[in-house]
Amino acid sequence: MTIRGSVDSLTADGAAGWAFGIGFAPGRFLVLQALLDGRVIGETTADQPRHDLAAAGLGDGRCGFTMAFYDAPVDQQLLPFISIRPRGGDVELPRTSLTGVGEYFGTIHARFPAAGRQRCVFGGLWTDRTDAARLLAGRVEVGATPPGVRGALQRIIGSGHAVLRDVVLPVDAEQDVLSRPDASLSGVVDPASGAAGRRFLAGVPELLFQPASLSLLKAMMDDTPVVHRVVLSHGEETGTPFMQPSAAERLPSPAESVLVVACLPTGTGSSLQVEIIAGSHEFPEFTADGRSRWLPSPPAGQTPPAIEIARRCDASIRMIEIGPQDLLILGPGTVYRLRPAGDQTSALQAWCIPSRISPSRVLEQPDAQTFVVRHPSGALLAV
């Protein structure tokens, strides 16, 4: 026997949908039950006329149902765990309504709006908690966070990013390998690509781990920062699609990734423009089909979850411009893109994680060589 059907609506009071038994004799209908933790909380017969189902070739269309729950209303938090099945069977009708994991968490968050929580089911940095502003005040009060980084942390918490102006100390151009990046270095900088890549990577910690940026990263992570991924682009190639720092690559803890963006001038008057989707660090986590925006992007041709959610939220775009002496710090949940730059500008993107975790590729390829540069502060580059 073949059964087709779906649950089109599931509320605290009952369920509605359709169920059709292929090969059933005329006048014979399916009896459906709603189960919660093995207990029957509702029962009905799928015999209601549905003209749309008749037009689709499902018999005479008398296979719709509306079911009222015995103990209505059911707690909204329990809706994801209710199953609709034919009586005496183990087959569960699929749902077309949005009553999955996203709605489960949404219901809890709406019911307890003041409860502090992470914005991602995978956990994350304390700066991404809904009560991060209150946490910051307490951390400064007890001495867990230096007062000097309070302003930058407030910007990270409030807008998902912070621009550190004039923090990059000038270096003699003749000694600064970052001011003359090899043209062959483009995309993810791989130390295995040759001496040019290793020379460039060796200079990255000195640029990124300035006193102001290092203090901020340590305060966000409660740990020593480690650069695990470096991407270099030049001129027009600096333009990128919208993306989210946590989705750059697979991590055991995807919500603990911070992006640092720097402008590398190869001439005078260079600057880099970055567009940020305002409020994206506070977006919901899941799309309608249950995909998390905090995970690596989907295959080509499929809209990234972060962009799908941004469209749903009618988000706006904010432009930021940084110069050679500035650093842009982006939280793991902030959606951004780089704009194409002039011929005399290169863009450096460096992903940092706490030293307590390692990228998944390191665990999957234990024999791969890791290029390590240790900064005098103890911070690392390990790619």
Instruction: Give the model's pLDDT for residue 375.
Output: 96
pLDDT (tens digit per residue) in 328-346: 999 999 999 999 888 778 8
pLDDT > 90 fraction of the chain, expressed in percent and rounded: 55
Distance CA 154, CA 152 (A): 5
- CATH 2.60.40 location in the chain: 2-105
Reply yes or no on whether the pLDDT at 57 is more than 90.
no
Would you say 54 and 61 are in contact if contact means Cβ atoms under 8 Å apart? yes
Cβ-Cβ contacts under 8 Å for 36 (sequence gap 6 or more): 74, 78, 81, 82, 83
Residue with tokens 């008057």: 269
Tell me 158's DSSP state. Answer: H
First to last CA, the chain: 56
Tokens of 2: 């073949």
- Give the pLDDT of residue 87: 92
| Arch. (CATH architecture) of 126-382 | Sandwich (2.60)
**DSSP calls for 112-139:** STTS--BSSTT---GGGBTTHHHHHHHH
Strand pairing report for 380-382 and 225-234: parallel
Share of the chain above pLDDT 70, in %: 90
Query: 């998944």: which residue's tokens?
Result: 360
In contact, 237 and 231? CB cutoff 8 Å: no
Residue 19, strand partner residues: 5
| 55 pLDDT tier (thresholds 50, 70, 90) | confident
DSSP state of 140: H
Tell me if the pTM is above 0.75.
no
For the chain, residues classed under CATH 2.60.120 are 126-382
Q: Per-residue pLDDT tens for 293-322?
A: 998 866 666 788 899 899 988 899 999 999
Q: What is the pLDDT of residues 316-331, one digit of tens each?
A: 999 999 999 999 999 9
Judge whether residue 31 has pLDDT over 70.
yes
Q: If one looks up domain 2-105 in CATH, what number appears?
A: 2.60.40
